[in-house]
Structure 1
Amino acid sequence: SLESVFGFISVLPGAFSAYRYKAIRGPPLQAYFKSLTTPMHELGAFQGNMYLAEDRILCFELLARKGQRWTMQYVKDAIARTDVPTDLTALIGQRRRWLNGSFFALVYTILNWGRVYTESNHSYIRKFFLCIQYAYMTANVGLSWILPANFFLVTYYLVIIGFLKDNWGYIPTDKISPYAKQIAVQVFSLLYGSSFLVQLVAGLGNKPKHIKLKVADIQGIMDNFNLVDAAAFVASAGVFFLASALHCELHHIVLSFVQYMALLPTFVNILNTYSFCNLHDLSWGTKGLESSDGHGPKAGGGKGNFKDAVEKKKAEEARKAKEAKIKDEMEGAFQRFRSTLLIFWLLCNLGFAYTIIVLDVNEATGQQGLAYLKFLFYTVAVFNLVRLMGSILFLFSSFKLKIFRCCIRGTMEERIRAKAKRRSQHPPGHIV
């Protein structure tokens, strides 16, 4: 609903969307089908991953279409059905495609956002609000890039430091000896680090159906927030319930919030790590589509003399050798891209976590992570409050639109009745 207020919805899934053909005809459709009309070795790893979410590319091309001012709107009353993963293997394969596709498509959108201002014909007011959405999306990409580090830091400060400093209000840790605390902290840190490394190694080149990832991630809750921190926490979590209540969909949040929080470590650590480990895999990942190879025309047989058959065989062997060379070079380039980006992603997360742990120490009080936790909670609270404001504005605009349509409907009905009355009073052929 927030994106609908701005006029640009970053993703419009095919099963849930309807487009004006006039809006997508031409360049948007050409961009949408580019992955089918362009050989994979010409697309490259970046565009190959980007076109795993081709619907997101279509949305941006629709918004930035030259000389046009098309927008996208969310229709709350629309209903659609879709298939969902039925087991962990299918979930990992699906999320790998979704996470990689959405990330690279969003990066593509951010890098090409200038087209909205230079090519499209949107009004200045619309472009101003789209600029706000651009800042929101950019910040969202930055936070998602270091999401594993943030998850570890929250766990580290709330669980480990809280355990050492006797900050747990629901477990009496003050009676545990300092030596036992140090051992427990080392064991927990070892388990957490080992679990992440296991996920990293298992995700490198393995299919979900060939491995069974069973990782237990420990979460903690800090119980000694002060009043301001408590307000930030309530703002972070309470907006989901408030927004769903405003949309009359509270039962969905109530019935799924606990399960979502329980699965959050899996989504952050397992699925995110597996996705970055398989950037070279461009297969669909679901519905039995496990190969990224194209389905080109097959060579058929034919009749001819012996010399023609030999020449055809040599030509076929040369063609296959050339295709094998291109495929080998493409796979090597994709794997280099995967390795380079994966290493950079790991270094960014490790460097960020190490920097926060080393620098965020209050020398006067000895407290650790206080500034980071406040910054993180306030950042999440601001993001959620922005979403809440967008949700409220969407409801307000929808209400105004319904009133406008009712007024228009009433005016049209009056005009139709008046026209019918005039026709009844003046039969055909009568000149008024």
Structure 2
Amino acid sequence: MSYNRSDETLNGLPVDNPWIQMNATEEEFERSYSSPRRDNNSVYLTPENRYGSRDRLYGTPSPQRRSYSPSPDRYYYSPSHETRRLPQIPKLSPFDDKEEEEEEPTYRKREDPFVADRPGYEYNFEPDAESDRTFVPFPNLNNSYYPINTPKDYFDPFDYRYDDSHEEEDIERDDYSESGASVTSARQVRMVNGNLVLDCPVSDVLLSKYTTPLSEKDREFLFMRFQACTCEPAEFAYRNFSLRQCFYSQPRSTEMMVVITMYNENEILLARTLKGVFKNIRHLYSMQHSSTWGQDAWQKVVVCVVSDGRTKINPKSKALLGALGVYQEGFAKNKVNDDKVVSHIYEYTTMVGISKVEHDHVKLTTENQIPIQMIFCLKETNQKKINSHAWAFEAFGPILRPNVVVLLDVGTEPEGKALYKLWKAFKDPRVAGACGEIKASLGRNCRLLLNPLVAAQNFEYKISNILDKPMESVFGFVTVLPGAFSAYRYQALLGAPLQKYLKGEDLKRSNDGGIFNANMYLAEDRILCFELVAKQNCEWLLKYVSSAAAHTDVPEQLHDFISQRRRWLNGSFFAAIYSLFHFYKVWHTSHSFGRKVMLHIQFLYQFINLLVSWFSLGSYFLVFRILTVYLAEPEADFAPGNILSVFFLWLYLASIVTTFVLSFGNKPKGTKRFYLIIVTFFAILMVYMIFAAVFMAVKSIQTIIKDHSNDFSVKLIFTETKFRDLIVATTSTYALYFIGSFIFLDPCHMFTSFVQYLLLSPAYINVLNIYAFCNIHDISWGTKGDDLRNDLGEAKVTKNAQDGELEIVIPTTKTQIDVAYRKIMNELTTTTMEVEAKVNQEEEDAFYFAFIRSMTVLVWMITNFIIIALVTEAGGLYQFTPDDSSSTDYLPATRISVFLTVILWIVAFMALFRFIGCCAYLISKLVDRIKLRKFRREYQTKGASFAV
């Protein structure tokens, strides 16, 4: 057809749309060639010229045109072979025929000396060592054409020159050396729907690494899309911002959106997470018999990285994203027409994978890689993790409309099939959210188990995944789906759950919600879980998927561990109170009566668990005092018992007082040695308590045998109160740990981490709880230091510009873009000194929060002291009770017996309750598997194929 500017529409869009005017395809109209007004070195050229298109589109070319010669910096698949032979998939069989290999198309390649000289960061042309060697992807491309927007007069779809004749002159004039700072030029840019949206050509240094031939229609690989967003997440769609998936020649539907939240983590942690995600997408691609996944799986998954604060991001993490092609330097601006930019959004589909992540560097590969659709949202200011999720749920979610949203933290590496197994859980239409097992990363050859702190956390994670989460999954309410590795049905989030979840976003601006809500939203994932299950007129359930696993780094230093658990404990404590006070919402749901009763049983269990946690400090002291005093009694016949009892008592009290003082006035990072000494003392104390418990058990059995030498029976052992209440209850709790671990066929942690957890358990109860409660005023919104900004410049309308045009300083030439890409790669190999920003602690109502903190700690200490006094008759209480004990007793026997009976059997019952839940979980899995096999047999008998 011939082009006519009077036509009202073209492809359903108005002609005056700047994208249509500048980017209409050659099949749709043609016009006479006229030399554009631009620099010869501009890279804003039509991609048809550069990636093997027809050499002559309009017959005889203009005399001003010179023949196109492909750049030697890239792989180039000869266009003359396109019509005769399709690209052959290389055979990986050891019996390959050499003659067939010679017939395969050859590629011209030139190694980039910049990359070759830097062993710390390199492209590895060997396949991933952990990948399937028989897997050679050849994705279906040629369907990613979309209209692009580039600077005015620097993009002409009818100019087929790629002229680098003035490159040396440009370098000399603009100083494009790697050490120079001038890598941009001022250009006129058309606004798209009133917004700054640019399509930026990708560097030849990156494109030269691709082994898959690209055509002129594969624009998602040739251009990176940049948007300067000047609105909040909820207004993203209303302000006419969008994403590339909507503009492809074949618009794509998104089945899964993977959201990775990042703050200031280094490139090693980011690379681990991305490697795990890429491996999962690769698995989805290999599922050729699936009704949902298969060859087009990569088009149904979008990986979104949201970084919290432009000045907070680790430079090497940003450089890694740049190496993948999803980030380019020089395009971000502070303002657009005097509107402040809230976030900088980059979109690109990369075919660069991560082959290996080592201790100090990352290796990339382009061999056997499938495309990955990526979005990088770099927020201008640091506004907390909830705000990062707001960008995913409120900005990108309404555009992509994913079925499942997977949440990951940087540093969490999902296993090869974890995302698929999480997604599969949503085949049940009642499931609103699911989580898998989070495993502690133990390093190469599990060397981190030598660190007692890591081993203790490994045991804690394992027991939670064996007893806690399976039990909660049976009831349908998993109290917390960890934000580090969980998935949600996007449709279930809409409405009240998402509004309640994002309510914490408003608390950073005002303190109207008070300190309760501030601490509650430190565990915002717990609030979201409750709101999903309690959603009005719905019957959503939460599920635990034991077969889906991810590895995450755990704190290796004590001060980092204390700071992390402060947020966890305070958030979970206040979130538990919230769910207990709002349990009545369950009756407004559509759950069955039986399910509502089960949920109330679970709420009762949570209430008992909350009480035990509240009194844990006093309870532990009582157990300590009972055991040590027993060894001090004459009947124990343990000579040093009396001295050790007093010695440990004074050290215990000194440690508690010191912990309170440090918690009120110091940060753990500044008092590392004090906390290390205290934790070490509690570990030694635990050894003595274990010895005392064993000693008591032996003495009790000996006494019974001596007193009942003629009528002894095993039943008599359980009539001795101290032995029954202390030894039996505690031993049964640990025995259930062993049994549950063996039932789940995962008992290794019981032999490698149980002892370390046992020794550190006093520190869990005393140090962590004290520090957490003493710092409930510290809500850690993470909005400090936002005034430190680099000036990125502005994009604004100038006097000489036409309507809808901005003047902006950006990279526009091939040299500028290539130099910028080389700088990004160089950033990864350059050792930089991390400079800590000055902390500016300005919080409203600081005195109010400190007062509430003091009152809470005071009430907590008083109530725990009361229970100690009631049991031990301390503080003069003995005057009001009859003297029914012998004068030789150090502690009242009756009260001690009652206390041990109540507290220790409650603990044993809670362990049994969780054990029953995990058994029910395994039984339900077995029943589902039997039903699935029966269902598959019925399909096979009917001659139909069955695929999930």
> Could you say which TM-score interval applies, normalised by the shorter chain?
0.7 to 0.9
Alignment of 1:77-88 (within 5 A): 77-88=547-558
Q: Retained in 2: the 8 A contact 1:63–1:71?
A: yes
- In the TM superposition, what is the alpha-carbon distance from 1:158 to its structure 2 partner? 0.8
- In the TM superposition, what is the alpha-carbon distance from 1:374 to its structure 2 partner? 2.5
Q: Which residue of 2 aligns with 1:258?
A: 755
Q: Which residue of 2 aligns with 1:16?
A: 485
In structure 1, give the amino acid aligned to 2:755: V
- Deviations, residues 190-223 of structure 1 (Å, cap 9, x unaligned): 2111110000000004211111212112131323
- In the TM superposition, what is the alpha-carbon distance from 1:49 to its structure 2 partner? 0.6
* Residue 329 to residue 399, structure 1, CA distance change in 2 (3 Å): same
- In the TM superposition, what is the alpha-carbon distance from 1:392 to its structure 2 partner? 0.7
Q: Which residue of 2 aligns with 1:237?
A: 734
Question: Which whole-Å CA distance do the structure 1 matches of 2:854 and 2:590 have between them?
Answer: 41
Question: Which whole-Å CA distance do the structure 2 matches of 1:50 and 1:295 have between them?
Answer: 24
Q: Which residue of 1 aligns with 2:519?
A: 49
In structure 1, give the amino acid aligned to 2:747: L
Q: Confirm or deny that 1:363 pairs with 2:884.
A: yes
- Deviations, residues 347-396 of structure 1 (Å, cap 9, x unaligned): 11111111111179982564632222222221111111111111111110
Question: Which whole-Å CA distance do the structure 1 matches of 2:945 and 2:926 have between them?
Answer: 29
- Deviations, residues 224-278 of structure 1 (Å, cap 9, x unaligned): 3463314433322100000111111111222211111011011111111111111
Alpha-carbon RMSD across the aligned residues, in angstroms, is 2.7
- In the TM superposition, what is the alpha-carbon distance from 1:336 to its structure 2 partner? 1.5
Question: Which whole-Å CA distance do the structure 1 matches of 2:933 and 2:537 have between them?
Answer: 32
In structure 2, give the amino acid aligned to 1:349: N
In structure 2, give the amino acid aligned to 1:397: S
Q: Retained in 2: the 8 A contact 1:236–1:377?
A: no
SS of structure 1 residue aligned to 2:548: coil
Question: Which whole-Å CA distance do the structure 2 matches of 1:332 and 1:269 have between them?
Answer: 26
* Gap regions ≥5 residues in structure 2: 1-469, 701-716, 719-723, 795-841
Alignment of 1:260-339 (within 5 A): 260-283=757-780, 291=782, 293=784, 329-339=844-854
Q: Which residue of 2 aligns with 1:106?
A: 576
Question: Which whole-Å CA distance do the structure 2 matches of 1:192 and 1:387 have between them?
Answer: 32
* Residue 17 to residue 194, structure 1, CA distance change in 2 (3 Å): same
Q: Which residue of 1 aligns with 2:500?
A: 31
- In the TM superposition, what is the alpha-carbon distance from 1:84 to its structure 2 partner? 1.2
Q: Which residue of 1 aligns with 2:663?
A: 203
Question: Which whole-Å CA distance do the structure 2 matches of 1:11 and 1:361 have between them?
Answer: 48
Q: Retained in 1: the 8 A contact 2:473–2:542?
A: yes
Q: Which residue of 1 aligns with 2:129?
A: none
Structure with bigger helix share is 1
* Residue 73 to residue 296, structure 1, CA distance change in 2 (3 Å): farther
In structure 2, give the amino acid aligned to 1:195: S
- In the TM superposition, what is the alpha-carbon distance from 1:165 to its structure 2 partner? 4.4
Question: Which whole-Å CA distance do the structure 2 matches of 1:378 and 1:35 have between them?
Answer: 39
- Deviations, residues 79-131 of structure 1 (Å, cap 9, x unaligned): 112221121111011010111111111111111111112x2111000011111
Q: Retained in 2: the 8 A contact 1:233–1:377?
A: yes
Structure with bigger strand share is 2
Q: Which residue of 2 aligns with 1:247?
A: 744
- Deviations, residues 381-432 of structure 1 (Å, cap 9, x unaligned): 111111111111111011101111222233334445399xxxxxxxxxxxxx
Q: Which residue of 2 aligns with 1:316?
A: none
Question: Which whole-Å CA distance do the structure 1 matches of 2:696 and 2:630 have between them?
Answer: 13
Question: Which whole-Å CA distance do the structure 2 matches of 1:73 and 1:163 have between them?
Answer: 50
Question: Which whole-Å CA distance do the structure 2 matches of 1:257 and 1:361 have between them?
Answer: 44
SS of structure 2 residue aligned to 1:42: coil
Question: Which whole-Å CA distance do the structure 1 matches of 2:506 and 2:479 have between them?
Answer: 23
* Residue 336 to residue 418, structure 1, CA distance change in 2 (3 Å): closer
In structure 1, give the amino acid aligned to 2:938: T
Q: Percent of counterpart pairs with the same letter?
A: 35
The equivalent position to 2:623 in structure 1, one of 150, 154, 165, is 154
Q: Which residue of 2 aligns with 1:408?
A: 935
In structure 1, give the amino acid aligned to 2:776: L
Question: Which whole-Å CA distance do the structure 2 matches of 1:14 and 1:65 have between them?
Answer: 20
Question: Which whole-Å CA distance do the structure 1 matches of 2:575 and 2:511 have between them?
Answer: 18
Q: Retained in 2: the 8 A contact 1:15–1:80?
A: no
Alignment of 1:81-96 (within 5 A): 81-96=551-566
SS of structure 2 residue aligned to 1:224: helix
Q: Retained in 1: the 8 A contact 2:539–2:590?
A: yes
Q: Which residue of 2 aligns with 1:194?
A: 654
Q: Which residue of 1 aligns with 2:922?
A: 395
Q: Which moved more, 1:357-366 or 1:383-392?
A: 357-366
SS of structure 2 residue aligned to 1:248: coil
In structure 2, give the amino acid aligned to 1:42: D
Question: Which whole-Å CA distance do the structure 1 matches of 2:663 and 2:882 have between them?
Answer: 35
- In the TM superposition, what is the alpha-carbon distance from 1:295 to its structure 2 partner? 5.6
Q: Retained in 1: the 8 A contact 2:628–2:645?
A: no
Normalised by the length of structure 1, the TM-score is: 0.81
Q: Which residue of 1 aligns with 2:813?
A: none
Question: Which whole-Å CA distance do the structure 2 matches of 1:379 and 1:24 have between them?
Answer: 36
The equivalent position to 2:862 in structure 1, one of 347, 358, 375, is 347
Greater relative contact order (Cα < 8 A, sep 6+)? 1
Question: Which whole-Å CA distance do the structure 1 matches of 2:850 and 2:929 have between them?
Answer: 52
Q: Which moved more, 1:396-405 or 1:225-234?
A: 225-234
Question: Which whole-Å CA distance do the structure 1 matches of 2:736 and 2:882 have between them?
Answer: 31
The equivalent position to 2:567 in structure 1, one of 92, 97, 101, is 97
- In the TM superposition, what is the alpha-carbon distance from 1:161 to its structure 2 partner? 3.2
In structure 1, give the amino acid aligned to 2:600: C
In structure 1, give the amino acid aligned to 2:656: F
Normalised by the length of structure 2, the TM-score is: 0.38
Q: Which moved more, 1:69-78 or 1:369-378?
A: 369-378
SS of structure 2 residue aligned to 1:73: strand
Q: Retained in 1: the 8 A contact 2:476–2:542?
A: yes
Q: Which residue of 2 aligns with 1:313?
A: none
Question: Which whole-Å CA distance do the structure 2 matches of 1:110 and 1:79 have between them?
Answer: 30
**Larger Rg computed on CA atoms:** 2
- In the TM superposition, what is the alpha-carbon distance from 1:189 to its structure 2 partner? 2.0
Question: Which whole-Å CA distance do the structure 2 matches of 1:250 and 1:101 have between them?
Answer: 30
In structure 1, give the amino acid aligned to 2:763: T
SS of structure 2 residue aligned to 1:84: coil
Question: Which whole-Å CA distance do the structure 2 matches of 1:100 and 1:72 have between them?
Answer: 23
In structure 1, give the amino acid aligned to 2:871: I
Q: Retained in 2: the 8 A contact 1:10–1:56?
A: yes
SS of structure 2 residue aligned to 1:60: helix
In structure 2, give the amino acid aligned to 1:276: F
In structure 2, give the amino acid aligned to 1:242: I
Question: Which whole-Å CA distance do the structure 1 matches of 2:474 and 2:482 have between them?
Answer: 18
Q: Which residue of 2 aligns with 1:379?
A: 906
